Amino acid sequence: MKTKKFALLFFLSFAFIAVSINGCAKSYIQKPIIAPQGEVIPFDSDKWSFIGGTKTEDYLGQKALVLGVKKEGKAVGFGLAMLKDTKFTNGIIEYDVHMKETRTFAGLRLRAQKGPNFENFYMRGHHSGDPDANQYMPVYNNIPSWQLYYGESYSAPTKYDFNQWMHIKVVVSGKLADFYIVDMEKPAFTAELKREEQTGKIGLWGLNLKGQVWFANFAVKAMDNPEIKGTPKPEPVAKSGSILTWDVSNTFDGKSLDGKTILTKKEKHGLVYKKLKSEKSGLTNLAVLQGIKKGKDTVFARVVISSKSDQVKKMNFGFSDKVKIYLNNQILCEASDEFSSRDYRFLGTVGFYDAVFLPLKKGDNEVLFAVSEDVEDRTGWAVKARFEDMKGISIK
């Protein structure tokens, strides 16, 4: 399967879909592998809405929900189950999951809002034992962000048992969440949640690239202040010289800049800017402000640099997925950091992999980053930049 097609299918697994279903089958009684703290919600009850490849069946001694069932003639299967009326802010969510050691994704979404906007946790069957065997990430305005939030602050190198059910417990309290995988005494990792604390829906999803996923014994217990036992791994802190606030424009068609080495009033016409603060690491998730669609896939991220003299300054930068950099309306460089763009193993993560030398004039200088995200390949939309040397300059 081509890389871009895989990334598209991975993105589709995060699309928010809520479908109502009529009728109610008789609820079955389940005996959980590990007794959850909340009440088990049967998958055949009318509390669930389903979309895509879903079914229920007896599996490994449990009444299971199967997600990612492939439809006839389709190479990939995707299934989503959303609790219709449950409103969740803080508490404990538990379930059992089973998958094979194949290209399979088993996911949970939390505090889901329209947009869609939600917190997301998922497991990768094909990366058992790897640093990215699982991952937490936020979704803003229908744009996943797995390229932005990676490493030990957001995942744990967990070895999965593919011969039996694995029990999962997620404890959410305010801005923190413990993620337990099989071991219920110690969380696999603890994450600081990125989105604002909001009440929302809960759902399960499965993406089948080479294997479907089974869920059983799903339970929810709402609590005001559940105990968080773990401590989040500290994120990097932005160094001196980092740009911590950008002016970000509304979206426009990135193709309008093709071949444009000089920006004119035409390229800037109709743009309105809003301030967007970076995270403490210096990363700025552009999806926080708005989503994208065909013909509206690019923004200008703007910063003004005041220089005491004519001089050249080095700026290190990172981005996802594509960028063109302009200084005082003159293009300086363009680059691409798409999934597998550097080599077949490159994930498209955002780091200070590139640098540009800015020929600053005395006075104010406008720096524009035209940052684009592929509408069909949504993996993270972000920018960050910093100066190695702030002597003689200031960020306005």
Answer left, alpha or beta for residue 46, where phi above 0 means left and psi between -120 and 50 means alpha: alpha
Which two tokens mark 31?
Answer: 């005996």
Q: How far is CA 55 from the centre of its chain?
A: 27
Which two tokens mark 375?
Answer: 């509408």
Which two tokens mark 12?
Answer: 């589709």
| pLDDT score at 100 | 96
d(CA 56, CA 67): 9
Of residues 37, 40, 38, the one with CA closest to residue 64: 40
d(CA 213, CA 289): 33
Q: pTM of this prediction?
A: 0.88
DSSP track, 344-396: TT------S-EEEEEEEPSEEEEEEEEEE--TTS-S--EEEEEES--TTEEE-
Domain 245-395 fold is Jelly Rolls (2.60.120)
Asked if the domains at 3-222 and 245-395 fall in one CATH topology, the answer is yes
| pLDDT score at 26 | 34
Residue type, 389: D
Type and span of the H or E element at 311: strand 311-320
Residue recorded with tokens 């999806």: 287
- Percentages (nearest 5) of helix, strand, coil residues in the chain: 5, 45, 50
Residue type, 210: K
| pLDDT score at 21 | 32
Q: Which CATH superfamily is domain 3-222 in?
A: Exo-inulinase; domain 1 (2.60.120.560)
Q: Domain limits of the chain? A: 3-222, 245-395
- pLDDT block averages, 10 residues each, the chain of length 396: 50 44 35 78 96 96 96 93 95 98 97 94 97 97 95 96 97 98 97 97 96 97 96 94 98 96 94 97 97 97 98 98 97 90 81 96 98 93 97 96
DSSP track, 199-242: -BEEEEEEEESS--EEEEEEEEEE-SSPPP-S-PPPPP-PPTTB
- All residues at 6 or more sequence positions from 79 whose CB lies less than 8 Å from its CB, including other chains: 50, 51, 52, 53, 54, 66, 67, 68, 69, 205, 206, 208, 212
